[in-house]
Chains A and B, each alone.
Chain A
């Protein structure tokens, strides 16, 4: 559905996007992650045909965005960063404009507009000037504009930026509902969003792809993936604690003072599951457990590691 082939963009001496390639299939929701300035928006602007790449191209529904931009743009719905809109128009007239420019007329156009408004719950503000709307409504007008022609490919640049938690939930709900039918790319730097809506995540830093996988796979790259956290009633004997660190598969035992001691985190070597042996050991030694907890890892840690270069070489 969407193939990005060696996209490269150079602004003068700055290499903003460096040889980025990936493919997104129908039914996939690709989360495009990266720190500010990593090249997320630039990539999206090239995929949607706003910027011409220095090298490479994108194939959207079989159309090369460079060679047949109009055909490619027909099957894309795009929410640009910040959701720019014409402030003097109303949502109704604005959606009418985008639907008309996409070739819809008469009753087709009217029903497409009301469908998009219903999806994004805009009916109550349909005839208010956009400049008078709240940020959440503006973002939804932008989203409605991207959906009005029921596109096969959706490109959403920070769709939930600046929304309150309820509105975020609503936008994610909309994305969820459409996911099976469409090819969706979402750029974000909100990591919880990736877990919430994406079936795959791609992390980009300094213009290059540094990680690509399902959210679970990426989380598994966290150093504390499969670690076991223990909180005990009493501090165990030092010798027993030391022996805990020598169980097969355990790399180290850290003391976590911030949880209110005595608490420990048992870190596995290479993410091996160690819950069984650790819990067995603990019960054998009759330690009184207040809490035992298996860590999944944090996407934040992985994100920080891959984008600051500590793990970039491994990718």
Chain B
């Protein structure tokens, strides 16, 4: 098994998956819903205009909450559908390793989420027309948002591998993502603060997607934040491989 055949297997699966998104109406429904919600939250809840500031804070601040259910919606079918329809047997009797398929599918989902995110570019153009924004934090916000999407998708991929039922995959992934997000809110940290030493409370806070995303959103892409997001993806994708090896035949 050489590196070039590894890359080829991942690439072939990636291409099939990504094309698959656009061969059904699911992709278009998702893109429309994503853009509508991202816009609506920024304008109505985030008071994008009345804040009277040329930045995208009002837009990015809702992304963790938006992704909480939109990323599990993309990820739920990754493996549950293959297992339900039996195509998982076809896939894993082709000469591919489990991790090839896991990575190929994950990248396809991530790129799809990236396309959805990229399609929000008119809002960026708007602030550049209406004002004179600092584009650094905007770029950082997009990068952070994309990384966060990847982390949620990796969590969703792992959950999807555990079940044949897409609804269960969606609900469980949403709950797990919710815990990962909520871990950084004052509500949860305050609860732990009442009985845990400060160092442990900070540790719990450091596992929170929200805290890391907020750091990046401010315009500083710190190495620890990058390590955090890539670790979450790595851990959950590795777990996906393990779950599939155990459960694919059931």
Contacts A73-B94, A101-B95; A50 near B89 (Cβ below 8 A): yes
**Closest Cβ–Cβ distance, residue A69 to chain B (whole Å):** 8
Judging by beta carbons under 8 Å apart, are A86 and B249 in contact? no
Q: Which residues from chain B contact A69 at a C-beta distance below 8 Å?
A: 97
Chain A's closest residue to B245 (CB) is: A52
> Is A89 touching B95 in the complex (CB atoms < 8 A)?
no
Closest to B100 in A: A101
A97 to chain B: which residues have CB within 8 Å? 12, 16
Question: How far, in angstroms, from A241 to B99 measured CA to CA in the complex?
Answer: 74
Q: A residues bordering B, Cβ < 8 Å?
A: 45, 48-51, 69-71, 73-74, 76, 78, 80, 82, 84-89, 93, 97-98, 100-103, 129, 145
Answer whether A88 and B97 are a contact pair too, CB < 8 Å, given A82-B86, A101-B12: no
Return the contact of A50 from the options B16, B19, B85, B93 (Cβ within 8 A). B93
Shortest Cβ gap from A43 to chain B (Å): 13
Provide 15 A-B residue pairs closer than 8 Å at the C-beta atoms, listed in order of the A residue.
A45-B249, A48-B93, A50-B248, A70-B1, A73-B94, A73-B95, A76-B93, A78-B90, A80-B86, A84-B86, A85-B90, A87-B85, A88-B20, A89-B16, A145-B90
Quick one: which of A84, A88, A102 contacts B90, CB cutoff 8 A?
A84
Interface residue B87 (Cβ < 8 Å from any Cβ of A): yes
Contact across chains for A51 and B249 when beta carbons are under 8 A apart: yes
Question: Which residues from chain B sit less than 8 Å from chain A, CB to CB?
Answer: 1, 5, 8-9, 12-13, 16, 19-20, 23-24, 85-87, 89-90, 92-97, 248-249
Are B94 and A103 in contact, with the CB atoms below 8 A? no
A84 and B93 within 8 A (CB): no
Q: Are B5 and A50 in contact (CB under 8 A)?
A: no
Is A49 a contact of B92 with CB atoms below 8 Å?
A: yes
CA distance A101 to B92 in the complex (A): 11
Which residues on the A side are within 8 Å of B8 (C-beta)? 100-101, 103
How far is it, in angstroms, between the C-alpha of A49 and the C-alpha of B98 when the chains are bound? 12
Report the minimal beta-carbon distance from A8 to chain B, rounded to whole angstroms. 15
Chain B residues near A145: list those with CB within 8 A: 90
CB distance from B207 to the nearest CB of A (A): 34
**New A-B contacts (19) at CB < 8 Å, excluding given A101-B12, A101-B13:** A45-B89, A45-B249, A48-B93, A50-B92, A50-B93, A50-B248, A50-B249, A71-B95, A73-B95, A80-B90, A80-B93, A85-B87, A86-B87, A87-B85, A88-B20, A89-B20, A98-B94, A100-B8, A101-B95
Report the Cα distance A76→B13, complex, angstroms: 19
Docked-complex contact A84 and B95, CB < 8 angstroms: no
A84 touches B92 (CB 8 A): no
Write out the residue numbers on chain A whose beta carbons fall within 8 Å of the beta carbon of B90.
78, 80, 84-85, 145
Chain A hits for B12, CB < 8 A: 97, 100-101
Closest B residue, CB atoms, query A71? B95
Distance in angstroms between the alpha carbons of A102 and B249 in the assembled complex? 22
A50-B249, A97-B16 known; A88-B92 Cβ under 8 A? no
**CA of A84 to CA of B81, assembled, Å:** 12
- Contact A73 B16, beta carbon cutoff 8 Å: no
Chain A nearest CB, measured from B188 CB (Å): 39
Given contacts A50-B89, A70-B95, A80-B89, contact A88 B24 (CB under 8 A): yes
Question: Given contacts A45-B249, A88-B20, is CB(A101)–CB(B85) below 8 Å?
Answer: no
Cβ–Cβ < 8 Å partners of A48 in chain B: 93
Residues of B within 8 A of A100 (CB): 8, 12
- Chain A's closest residue to B92 (CB) is A50
A237 smallest CB distance to B (angstroms): 65
| Pairwise interchain contact A84-B248, C-beta atoms closer than 8 A | no
Is the Cβ of A88 less than 8 Å from the Cβ of B248? no
With a CB–CB cut-off of 8 A, which chain A residues contact B94?
73, 98, 101-102
Which single member of A45, A70, A84, A103 contacts B87 (CB below 8 Å)? A84
B30 CB to closest chain A CB (Å) equals 15
- CB-CB under 8 A from B9, the residues of chain A are 101
Q: Are B5 and A103 in contact (CB under 8 A)?
A: yes
Docked pose: A100 CA to B20 CA in angstroms: 16
How far, in whole Å, are A69 and B92 apart by their CA atoms in the complex?
10
| Chain A residue contacts of B5, Cβ below 8 A | 103
Contact between A84 and B97, CB atoms less than 8 A apart: no
Contact A102 B93 (CB under 8 A): no
**A82 partner residues in chain B, CB cutoff 8 A:** 86
Who on chain A is nearest to B248 by CB? A50
Chain A's closest residue to B20 (CB) is: A88
A89–B89 Cα distance when bound, in Å, is 17
